């Protein structure tokens, strides 16, 4: 009899443990249970809470109440409770269900519920605004933290910063005096326009016209070659020469490929330009003068070796492109005078080349690096670019000439801006 009794009891216990699970048959968007978490102060059980929808969103049959943007709020006599901004973030990736068990039907009904993290605020402190924190107070707090928890290196940095701190209160008595000294000393400083004029005057380029409307007006011819020197040049013998070799023999400097090529082109024309021939003659004299004065020289030797050139031209070159040190009667060439001589020469080259000069050939004639020659052309306001199709047609050059870069002078005149040094 005992085994039968035990079997019936086990069967009765199995029947009591059977539970049915079911989802709530209420509309999904209908207001339902809400899960809340009190991370700090817990509200009394008697506190009532309300649920508010914070945004208007379209609601249909498939919209769950837990997905709606809602806010839970409640209050006591002392504290306000409300949903914090963390509520939405904590729900991402998780879903919460509330289960209600009916003992009579042995059915557990499940309903999805949102989770809200509740924050609080004391009502008596609502009207109080937080005291503003100054930069000095923030630095003091940071120094205190570093002094307490920082490494040895960080503490050394804090000590160094404190030693370098300026006591502003000690400067109040002399502030007016310092301001007066600054004003007196800055009165002698030039204005922006005066500083620009001084910078333009110090440029190692020929006298120029900043308001020029065409390239030919930027460096006027007689600002480079004085009229008295210009009148002494006679192009007749070179124009009447029948061969290139005869023309080259009449030049002061005969080893310049740039001069010889341009002279042949000019004289090949049915009516050679006397202006261009005279400019090429002057450039030839300048090249010879540079080669003779670039190192230590004696003035009589220069006149003797340039005896074929008019003496008035040699006098002008000597006065403009050499310097005589104080206490000496011996002229000498400096880096500045050499740069000035080259920029004057290049302005004449640009005029002959219709303001688009092949700098590679010029650098070869002067035995200088191409980068240095390009820098001097840029100093004059030129751009080192490849010629456009329009420029090639204007100059009568073949398309292959567009592959090489040239120094091009255009208006309006723009000098290179000084480079600003960046702090590393």
Walking along the chain (424 residues) 10 residues at a time, the average pLDDT comes out as 49 62 83 86 88 84 83 90 81 82 87 88 82 81 87 88 75 75 75 68 85 91 94 92 90 92 90 93 94 89 91 93 86 91 94 92 92 93 89 83 87 80 54
**Pairing mode, if any, of strands 107-113 and 96-102?**
antiparallel
- Determine the pLDDT at residue 404: 85
- Determine the pLDDT at residue 1: 42
Give, in degrees to the nearest 5, the angle at Cα 241 between 239 and 244: 100
Classify residue 400 as left (phi > 0), alpha (psi -120 to 50) or beta: alpha
- pTM, rounded to two decimals: 0.56
CA distances from 137 to 134, 141, 144, 287 (A): 5, 6, 10, 71
- Determine the pLDDT at residue 17: 65
Contacts for 105 with CB less than 8 Å, ≥ 6 apart: 20
Can you tell me whether residue 79 is helix, strand or coil?
A: strand
- Determine the pLDDT at residue 39: 85
């Amino acid at each position: 009899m005992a085994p039968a009794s035990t079997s019936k009891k086990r069967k009765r216990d199995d029947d009591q443990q059977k539970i049915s699970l079911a989802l709530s048959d209420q509309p999904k968007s209908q207001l339902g249970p809400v899960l809340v978490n009190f991370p700090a102060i817990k509200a009394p059980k008697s506190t009532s809470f309300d649920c508010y929808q914070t945004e208007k969103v379209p609601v249909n049959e498939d919209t769950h109440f837990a997905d709606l943007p809602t806010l839970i709020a409640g209050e006591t006599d002392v504290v306000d409770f409300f949903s914090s901004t963390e509520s939405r973030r904590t729900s991402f990736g998780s879903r919460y269900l509330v289960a209600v068990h009916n003992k009579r039907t042995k059915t557990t009904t499940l309903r999805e519920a949102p989770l809200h993290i509740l924050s609080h605020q004391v009502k008596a402190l609502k009207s109080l605004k937080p005291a503003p924190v100054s930069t000095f107070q923030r630095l003091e707090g940071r120094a205190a933290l570093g002094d307490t928890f920082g490494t040895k290196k960080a503490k050394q940095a804090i000590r160094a910063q404190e030693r370098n701190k300026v006591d502003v209160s000690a400067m109040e008595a002399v502030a007016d005096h310092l301001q007066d000294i600054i004003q007196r000393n800055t009165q002698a400083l030039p204005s922006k326009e005066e500083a620009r004029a001084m910078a333009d005057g110090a440029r190692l380029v020929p006298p120029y016209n900043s308001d020029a409307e065409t390239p030919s007006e930027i460096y006027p011819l007689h600002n480079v070659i004085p009229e008295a020197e210009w009148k002494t040049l006679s192009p007749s013998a070179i124009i009447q020469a029948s061969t290139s070799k005869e023309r080259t023999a009449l030049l002061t400097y005969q080893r310049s490929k740039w001069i010889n090529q341009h002279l042949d082109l000019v004289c090949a024309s049915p009516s050679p330009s006397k202006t261009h021939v005279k400019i090429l003659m002057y450039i030839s004299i300048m090249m010879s003068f540079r080669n003779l004065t670039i190192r230590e020289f004696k003035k009589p030797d220069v006149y003797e070796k340039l005896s074929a050139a008019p003496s008035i031209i040699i006098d002008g070159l000597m006065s403009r492109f050499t310097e005589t040190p104080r206490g000496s009667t011996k002229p000498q060439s400096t880096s500045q005078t050499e740069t000035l001589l080259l920029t004057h020469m290049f302005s004449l080259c640009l005029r002959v080349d219709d303001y688009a000069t092949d700098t590679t050939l010029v650098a070869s004639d002067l035995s200088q690096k191409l980068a240095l020659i390009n820098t001097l052309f840029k100093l004059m306001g030129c751009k080192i670019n490849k010629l456009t199709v329009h420029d090639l047609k204007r100059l009568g050059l073949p398309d292959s000439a567009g592959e090489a870069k040239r120094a091009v002078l255009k208006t309006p005149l723009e000098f290179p801006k000084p480079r600003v040094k960046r702090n590393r």
